[in-house]
């Protein structure tokens, strides 16, 4: 796979005439795949997957549809590869901090999350919009896998090994709120990002307060957060 393929040779050597694309520079297989995935993420992030065609991706990447098919086999395979790339990039940003108390660690995690949202807007939008309507198959596994790992990270920063049902529902609803807020911020950007991050920290404290009223096991977690979060 390290050598240039026949399809890519033909694409690169196509004579440039009127309306023809300029000759492409020679790229490694991995680099060419990265370019195609990046182009796909931009499109999938802006539109629903069913509204994006292989021709759209080929045009955005400045290549031929034959080359896209050569690397990915079809749109579903390309869509899965694009979402997996976005998921891997997001998870790489979210390595938990071990310094400070729960609120400080939560704030650091949100900062890293919004770094990804801001720097990889199309990838984030494509990833979030990959569910829940498309929860079946590989797409569902990728999207739900990211959310499951986010739940694990939040549990780790709260130092919870196994949440009860009330805490689990509370944390999963908070993660869904983070996604919704991030999409809203990307669309409007009329609230300072740091303010948004602080709102989400406050939101965590508030939702744990509600949960504590339904499950006494949440009370120590809330007290720990409130003691650090108090002005």
Question: Over 70: is that where the pLDDT of 17 sits?
Answer: no
The one-character DSSP state at 120 is T
Question: What pTM does this model have?
Answer: 0.83
Top-confidence residue, 102 or 118: 118
| Amino acid 155: pLDDT | 93
Same fold, 6-73 and 82-229: no
- How many angstroms separate the CA atoms of 200 and 197, rounded? 5
Q: How many CA atoms lie within 13 A of 85 on its CB side?
A: 24
Which of the four pLDDT bands, split at 50, 70 and 90, describes residue 19?
Answer: very low
The domain segmentation of the chain, as residue ranges, is 6-73, 82-229
Gap between the Cα atoms of 124 and 45, Å rounded: 7
Helix axes 102-119, 121-128, angle to 10 degrees: 100
> pLDDT band for position 1 (50/70/90)?
very low
Per residue in 59-72, pLDDT (tens digit) is 999 999 999 999 99
| CATH 1.10.10.60 is right for the domain spanning 6-73 | yes
Angle between helices 54-61 and 65-72 (to 10 degrees): 110
pLDDT band at 25 (very low <50, low <70, confident <90, very high): low
Residues 186 and 122: beta-carbon distance below 8 Å: no
Distances (CA, A) of 12 to 6, 9, 37, 59, 190: 10, 5, 19, 15, 44
120: pLDDT strictly greater than 70: yes
Confidence of residue 12 (pLDDT cuts 50, 70, 90): very low
The CA distance from 160 to 163, in Å, is: 6
82-229 belongs to CATH 1.10.357.10 = yes
- In the chain, what is the greatest distance between 2 CA atoms, to the nearest angstrom? 74
Q: Do 67 and 7 form a contact (C-beta atoms < 8 A)?
A: yes
The per-residue pLDDT for 20 is: 44
**What rounded mean pLDDT belongs to the chain?**
86
The pLDDT score that the predictor gives to residue 108 is: 92
Torsion of CA 206, 90, 162, 196, to 10 degrees: 0
| Interaxial angle between packed helices 6-13 and 65-72, expressed in degrees from 0 to 180 and rounded to the nearest 10 | 160
* pLDDT above 80 for 165: yes
């Amino acid at each position: 796979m390290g050598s240039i393929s026949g399809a890519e040779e033909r694409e690169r050597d196509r004579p440039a005439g009127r309306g023809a694309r300029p000759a492409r520079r020679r790229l490694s297989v991995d680099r060419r795949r990265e370019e195609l995935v990046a182009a796909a993420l931009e499109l999938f992030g802006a539109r629903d997957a069913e509204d994006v065609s292989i021709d759209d991706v080929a045009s955005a990447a400045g290549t031929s549809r034959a080359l896209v098919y050569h690397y990915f086999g079809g749109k579903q395979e390309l869509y899965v590869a694009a979402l997996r790339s976005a998921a891997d990039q997001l998870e790489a940003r979210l390595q938990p901090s071990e310094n400070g108390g729960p609120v400080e660690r939560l704030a650091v995690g949100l900062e890293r999350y919004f770094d990804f949202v801001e720097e990889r807007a199309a990838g984030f939008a494509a990833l979030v919009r990959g569910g829940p309507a498309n929860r079946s198959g590989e797409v569902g596994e990728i999207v739900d896998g990211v959310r499951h790992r986010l739940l694990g990270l939040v549990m780790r920063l709260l130092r919870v090994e196994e949440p009860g049902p009330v805490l689990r529902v509370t944390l999963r609803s908070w993660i869904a709120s983070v996604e919704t807020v991030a999409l809203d911020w990307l669309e409007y950007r009329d609230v300072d990002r740091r303010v948004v991050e602080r709102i989400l920290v406050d939101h965590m404290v508030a939702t744990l307060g509600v949960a504590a009223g339904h499950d006494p096991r949440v009370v120590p977690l809330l007290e720990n957060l409130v003691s650090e979060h108090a002005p």
